Amino acid sequence: MGEKFCVECHFVGSEKSHTRSTLILEIGVWIAALVIYQVIDSDLSVIAPLIALGFSLWRNMFRYKACPKCLGKMIPADTPKAQAIIQEQTQSQD
């Protein structure tokens, strides 16, 4: 698969899969939904768990690969653009 190059922070290495939002927020949404479901005595209380389910599906369906250091966009390290930036960095360090 090859190494990738981050166009933001110039990291060279493997991409990492990231999930939108946080697990803590997802757990909080589920707790709130279950509390609302138990406390509110209405036919509308069934909507809260459905919203929590929708949030969980959205969070887990839209994973993306990004730089493990800055979450920036990564391109193959062997592309001309990446090679030019790497070469420029090497020359500036000398």
pLDDT in tens for each of the 94 residues of the chain? 578 999 889 899 999 999 888 999 999 999 999 999 888 878 778 899 999 999 999 999 988 899 999 988 999 988 888 888 888 877 777 6
Q: What pLDDT is recorded for position 34?
A: 92
The pLDDT score that the predictor gives to residue 32 is: 93
Domain residue limits at 20 = 4-93
CA 67 to chain centre: 10
Residue pair 70/12 in contact (Cβ under 8 Å)? The answer is: no
Mean of the per-residue pLDDT values of the chain: 88
Residue 5: strand pairing partners:
12, 75
Domain count of the fold of the chain: 1
The angle formed by the CA atoms of residues 87, 88 and 94, to the nearest 5 degrees, is 90
What separation, in Å, do the N-terminal and C-terminal C-alpha atoms of the chain show? 31
pTM to 2 decimals?
A: 0.64
Specify the amino acid at residue 83: Q
Q: What CA–CA distance (Å, rounded) separates 57 from 23?
A: 12
Residues written for the chain: 94
